[in-house]
Amino acid sequence: MTGPKSEILFHGCGVASGITLGTAVKLDSHQRVELKTSLVPDQLESEVNRFRAAVEASRRQMAELKVSLEEKVGKEHAFVIDAHILMLEDRSLLAEIEGIIRSECANSEWAVRKAAATIQQAYQSLEDEYFRERASDIEYVVERILINLAGSEPFDWDHLAGDLVIVAHDFSPSSFAAVDLERIRGLALESGGRSSHSAIIARSLCLPSVMQIPDFVHFVSTGDAILVNGDEGEVVVNPREERVAECRARIEESGMRALPGPGGAALPAATRDGATVSLRANTELPHEVRVATACGAEGIGLFRSEFLFFAHSTGFPSSEDQYLTYRMLVEAMAPHPVAIRTLDTGAEQIWTGSDLSGCANPSMGLRGIRLSLRTRDLFRAQVEAILRAAQFGSVEMIFPMVSTVEEIWRAKEVVREVGRSLSARDGAAVDVSIGAMIEVPAAVLMLESIAREVDVLCVGTNDLTQYLMAVDRDNPEVANLFQPLHPSIVQCLQRIAEVSNTLGRPARICGEISANPLVAVLLVGMGFRQLSMNPRSMAIIRKTVSSIRVDAAERLAERILRLSTTQEIVECMVAEVSRILPLDLGQYVREITNPVLGDGSATGFTPGRRVHA
Ligand code: PEP
Ligand code: MG
């Protein structure tokens, strides 16, 4: 008899606040649910036959693959496939898997994964590198069998009861489109980070989430009870009853987060000495426009249009579909402006398998405006949709990942061409402001030239941090270097504020830092007067802005610009802001120090602690 499973506590980085309780749904590296279903004895023979058919199909496919590989690269390289075919013919392995199906009354997928995990562990523990490599051969064979078991059937979410929490190594933004969002209550991931796109969506969907939990997924099975505390960066698998009760009380107490804000009317933020700061909303999903208005946003400062593409079944919403969405946003926000950013994704995220998608280093590859300029028809379709929507209100068209002035010239040429043909077709005059994301270091250095070509500068501090610090924003291994307040970034921000003022081009901060009260004070002190953020952060930023004076914020900015480490900068901010705001600043400090300062000294947070309670 098995007793209750023991509680395990994991620590990671809380990226979306709130607490949630649910049932774990474990996804594999291909985002398929790893689920053990219990079969009744009558079903076992047909399940074994289903498994055998999948093995046979895999063997046939491998044999075909071998022939084609021989033709392309020669017999001497094709022999590696023999090893895979041999595994598929290994009677003892097949018998073991069938044994698991029968003895545990389990589905084939579960049995395959269980048998493979045991063998892989055995290989990985060996000294010999050759044998350790064999673990990846097994992975490949397992993958092939699982594909054949899955056929083309989409996963039926009704297999799982109650509220669900996604547990996975990674979970890309496009994966949100593949799950039943009505049922998902939280995320617990090994990868990702505060500024990863999955974290951004989790926050906009109010899904309490913890990411960067090292060595975690292995300890969880689909069906385990799981608690996610996005405020503390904690995940508890199989929580004890007392902990569950305490957690339920906290969920109830927080009233499941009523929307803060003025409930409809746009509300500018004003400093104590009367300077106004326009607070706008970053949105990813069209329905968030309601949240934006409820929180008093003075417009949408950044609509990440790629999420329309991720959510679309083919990856390519038509120009008409896009137009309808953009028009809805524009009408809902009127008279305030909506900044629609053109597709900002890498080719690999929407075209799996195309010629454009194979790239070892996607964040430096064909993405953002580079991709749009390469796929002109798609770009024209999007530009047309934006220009048509602009007839219903105030719109800014923002080009992402600009690294040269020529890119802006070429993109504007497309806007002019499409505008001309729209006018000829509908007789409509089209008026749209043009903006550029400033998020690549080259754009900061070339800012005067870029600013002369556009109406507005949108500062993407998430990517600016990534590219300036040369640190992948999604890679937990280098998360300690993802320092959005590193002095180098602070210097860039100061330069952007100065150029913006000199040339009279508004500059809007759109990265995650604008939702942080500590940073908001610095930004106001540098001269920024537009901040765009997750709408749910607007209340705290409005309060922050209304508690400060511009002259004091300017003095803070001057002091900070002389400092040479992130730690000094954060300490200086905390000293200033804690005097004016009666707030627990710990969470905001963690967000920008993320989570260990450069020399490895912990800031009260140790990533990867795991406690068996
Ligand atoms: C940024 O890079 O800061 C930004 C606002 O855009 P995204 O997070 O979508 O890359
Ligand atoms: Mg960006």
pLDDT of residue 476: 83
Please indicate whether residue 441, judged by its CB atom, sits closer than 6 Å to ligand 1. Answer: no
Joined tokens for residue 55: 């093995």
pLDDT of residue 612: 40
Please indicate whether residue 284, judged by its CB atom, sits closer than 6 Å to ligand 1. Answer: no
68-72, 142-146, 452-456, 561-565: range with lowest mean pLDDT: 68-72
Please indicate whether residue 511, judged by its CB atom, sits closer than 6 Å to ligand 1. Answer: yes
pLDDT of residue 351: 64
Q: CA nearest 140: which of 179, 198, 88?
A: 88
Please indicate whether residue 407, judged by its CB atom, sits closer than 6 Å to ligand 1. Answer: no
Q: For all residues of the chain together, what is the average pLDDT? A: 87
pLDDT surpassing 80 at residue 353: no
Ligand 1 nearest-atom number relative to CA 306: 9
Please indicate whether residue 463, judged by its CB atom, sits closer than 6 Å to ligand 1. Answer: yes
pLDDT of residue 595: 52
pLDDT of residue 252: 74
Joined tokens for residue 136: 């990846």
pLDDT surpassing 60 at residue 260: no
% of the chain at pLDDT higher than 90: 57
How many angstroms separate the CA atoms of 355 and 352, rounded?
9
Best mutation site among 462, 485, 592 for ligand 1 pocket (most ligand atoms within 8 Å of CB): 462
Pairing verdict, β 225-229 and 19-27? antiparallel
Please indicate whether residue 439, judged by its CB atom, sits closer than 6 Å to ligand 1. Answer: yes
How many angstroms separate the CA atoms of 500 and 435, rounded?
13
Please indicate whether residue 305, judged by its CB atom, sits closer than 6 Å to ligand 1. Answer: no
pLDDT of residue 254: 65
Q: Stretch 148-171: mean pLDDT, rounded? A: 82
Helix axis angle, 108-124 to 129-150, nearest 10°: 170
Q: Find which of 110-119, 120-129, 308-317 is predicted with most confidence, using mean pLDDT.
A: 110-119
CA of 484 to the centre of ligand 2 (A): 13
Please indicate whether residue 460, judged by its CB atom, sits closer than 6 Å to ligand 1. Answer: yes
19-33, 101-115, 245-259, 564-578: range with lowest mean pLDDT: 245-259
pLDDT of residue 592: 86
Please indicate whether residue 473, judged by its CB atom, sits closer than 6 Å to ligand 1. Answer: no
pLDDT of residue 610: 40
% of the chain at pLDDT higher than 70: 90
Q: Which is the catalytic residue, given 13, 247, 295, 510?
A: 510
b or e along 535-570 (b: 16 or more beta carbons within 10 Å of the residue's beta carbon)?
bbbbbbbbebbebbbbebbeebbebbbebeebbebb
Ligand 1 nearest-atom number relative to CA 200: 8
Q: Which helix (H) or strand (E) holds 33?
A: strand 33-34
Length of the chain: 613
Please indicate whether residue 514, judged by its CB atom, sits closer than 6 Å to ligand 1. Answer: no
CA of 78 to the centre of ligand 1 (A): 43
Q: Stretch 421-428: mean pLDDT, rounded? A: 87
CA of 569 to the centre of ligand 1 (A): 23
Q: What pLDDT, in 10s, does the model give residues 575-607?
A: 999 998 888 888 889 888 865 434 444 333 333
pLDDT surpassing 70 at residue 49: yes
Q: What pLDDT, in 10s, does the model give residues 471-489?
A: 998 888 888 899 999 999 9
CA-nearest residue, atom 1 of ligand 1? 460
Ligand 1 nearest-atom number relative to CA 512: 3
pLDDT of residue 82: 85
Q: What pLDDT, in 10s, does the model give residues 292-337?
A: 999 999 999 999 999 888 877 677 899 999 999 999 999 999 999 9
Tell me the three state secondary structure of residue 598.
coil
Active site residue 295: no
CA of 513 to the centre of ligand 2 (A): 13
CA of 413 to the centre of ligand 1 (A): 24
121-130, 226-235, 402-411, 455-464: range with lowest mean pLDDT: 121-130
Active site residue 197: yes
Residue 613 pLDDT grade (very low, low, confident, very high; cuts 50, 70, 90): very low
Q: Which is the catalytic residue, given 11, 197, 336, 486?
A: 197
How many angstroms separate the CA atoms of 532 and 509, rounded?
6
Residue 29 pLDDT grade (very low, low, confident, very high; cuts 50, 70, 90): confident
Q: What are the residue ranges of helices labelled H in 505-607?
A: 517-526, 538-547, 550-561, 566-580, 586-593
Q: Stretch 80-99: mean pLDDT, rounded? A: 89
pLDDT of residue 9: 95
Q: Stretch 550-573: mean pLDDT, rounded? A: 96
CA of 533 to the centre of ligand 1 (A): 11
Pairing verdict, β 300-304 and 19-27? unpaired
CA-nearest residue, atom 4 of ligand 1? 460
How many angstroms separate the CA atoms of 424 and 426, rounded?
6
72-86, 392-406, 481-495, 518-532: range with lowest mean pLDDT: 72-86
80-84, 351-355, 427-431: range with lowest mean pLDDT: 351-355
CA of 460 to the centre of ligand 1 (A): 5
Tell me the three state secondary structure of residue 168.
strand
CA-nearest residue, atom 6 of ligand 1? 460
